[in-house]
Amino acid sequence: MAQIHRTTMTPTKLELIADWLPTRAWYTGVADGPRPVRAGGFRLDDPEGEVGIEFMVVADGEGPEAVAYLVPMTYRGKPLDGAEHALIGTSEHGVLGTRWIYDGAHDPVLVRELTALLDGRAVPQQQSVSDAVDETVVVAAVPGLRAAGPAEAVDGGEHTEVPVRADGDAGALVLRVHRVLRPGDAADGALGGVTAGFGPAGSEGAPARGAYVSVHRA
């Protein structure tokens, strides 16, 4: 299981995300620039123990105009070859030293473990607690789902689409990473997916819920 260290990061994740968000086509923008705050998420474990995997939600804006963005990230102890376009930034970790932080939709380790989650071979972990299953994350499984090899993820509109495959299924499939999150338990036409909470607690005391990731026919 991944070990959560209680230490500092310089710059912080939110500082890196604030600089990175305006470079994304799916960022809707606010008048005085991004001021992201944590608004949900979960982690996955890398069985090899080399790469940190986090699905972070940040809220940008105030009140009903705030927008929730999903930023899947991987944390590495050295650069990922060929992924310069996906680098969010580097940060000095108080325990682990320099960490290279990537947009995880473009990192093969995150894609591998996300397909494992959707196939029932991985378990979502709480964002800030070591060795603690996150029971609030709900998975609608797609049996046999696997990464599709070196095919590159494509950013478009409010989603990033990642080619995947399923054992015994000859059709082309894609993982759709929902960058702009909206309330609702499922994505239209999805074969399966991952839903979880995000944003501040609402009037009934619970965060909104929506699709973080969905699987579709290509």
Nearest CA to 210 among 184, 190, 192? 184
Inside any domain, residue 27: yes
Inside any domain, residue 98: yes
The reported pLDDT for the residue numbered 202 is 46
pLDDT in tens, 75-129: 999 999 999 999 999 999 877 789 999 999 999 999 999 999 999 999 999 998 8
Inter-residue long-range contacts of 131-135, CB under 8 Å, 24+ positions, other chains counted: 131/1, 134/42, 134/43, 134/196
* Residue 63 or residue 211, greater confidence: 211
Inside any domain, residue 107: yes
* Residue 33 or residue 112, greater confidence: 112
Inside any domain, residue 125: yes
Mean pLDDT taken over the chain: 90
Inside any domain, residue 45: yes
Terminus-to-terminus CA distance in the chain, angstroms? 33
Inside any domain, residue 134: yes
Which residues form the domain of 80?
9-217
Residue 142: φ, ψ to 5°:
-120, 95
The reported pLDDT for the residue numbered 203 is 42
Inside any domain, residue 1: no
Q: Which of left, alpha, beta for 144 (phi over 0: left; psi -120 to 50: alpha)?
A: left
Q: How many domains does the chain have?
A: 1
Confidence class for position 200, pLDDT limits 50, 70, 90: low
